[in-house]
Amino acid sequence: MNKPLENSSDAKNEPVTIKVSGKKRTFDIDDPKLPDWVKDSKLSAGGFPYKDELDNDDYEKQLERLQIELVKLQGWMQQGGARVLALFEGRDAAGKGGTISRIRAYMNPRTARNVALPKPSETERGQWYFQRYVAHFPTAGEFVTFDRSWYNRGGVEPVMGFCTPVQHEQFLDETPDFERAIVNDGIHFFKFWLNIGQETQLERFHDRRHSKLKHWKFSPMDVAGIKKWDDYTRMRDLMLERTHSAHAPWTVVRANDKRRARLAVIRRILLAIAYDGRDLDAIGPEDQLIIGSGPGFLS
């Protein structure tokens, strides 16, 4: 008889010693009490520019206006056959899934779909690397989001040893040309990197680990990743430097505050596409402290 899968909330994890903000810290993900050094820095980590999260009432009002515009955008796409492809990358717990969920909340699911692929099958491992992603690209009138994408090979795979250095370098070399083909075919193409601070990530991991609703989101990969913050940072910086281009730029979003990040992402999409009936007053201006372009916005 097969042993049932162990619930992630039951798995025991050893405390880890990590360097955070220049200091050695011991972090025990299984301790129900969140350390003060995490709690006190969860918003300000990594130089986040605001001292407080966006007020929820203000957020909900802005979000509703933007979601109305997304519905208008989708109607325009269906009438004219426009295609949108938006991929979301970032460290674990950066808020990719939540942002995608708010984008798609009121859109017609028949032509607005999300792609979140599992690890490649044996057949897929033998194919051209980009092949399994291309199969999910939008057809006429479709709005497609990717919750992680081909950029797995730019960050997770080299850090965790899931690809060779040669494969990693080949990916960095080929990706700009691959993305040029996407744009040249007329697809509205967006690449979002949601950037969070180290203490922010630890707080979100801790929340997942001790939540009866969200513990399934926390995995052994997350535990392993806690100790590899600096490795992920190096790969992130290299990936953004090598794959940021005029035709397919990276949009970087400071995402310690999920509310501000979600609004910034939606606003960027709506401002980039001149759809019929677009209400620029309802969309509003971008927050340039939260959203910017390319690796330079990280510094």
The pLDDT profile of the chain, 299 residues, written as one tens digit per residue, is: 333 334 444 568 889 999 998 999 999 999 999 999 999 999 999 999 999 999 999 999 999 999 999 999 999 999 999 999 999 999 999 999 999 999 999 999 999 999 999 999 999 999 999 999 999 999 999 999 999 999 999 999 999 999 999 999 999 999 999 999 999 999 999 999 999 999 999 999 999 999 999 888 888 888 888 999 999 999 999 999 999 999 999 999 999 999 999 999 999 999 999 999 999 999 999 999 999 999 999 97
pTM value is: 0.95
Q: Is the residue at 2 inside a domain?
A: no
Asked if the structure places residue 7 within a domain, the reply is: no
- Whole-angstrom distance, CA of residue 290 vs CA of residue 41: 18
**Residue 34 included in any domain:** yes
- 73 is a domain residue: yes
Task: Establish if 10 belongs to a structural domain.
Answer: no
Give the count of domains, the chain.
1
5 in a domain, yes or no?
A: no
CATH of the domain at 258: 3.40.50.300
In a domain, 6, yes or no: no
Whether residue 11 lies inside any domain: the answer is no
Structural domain boundaries, residue 137: 16-298
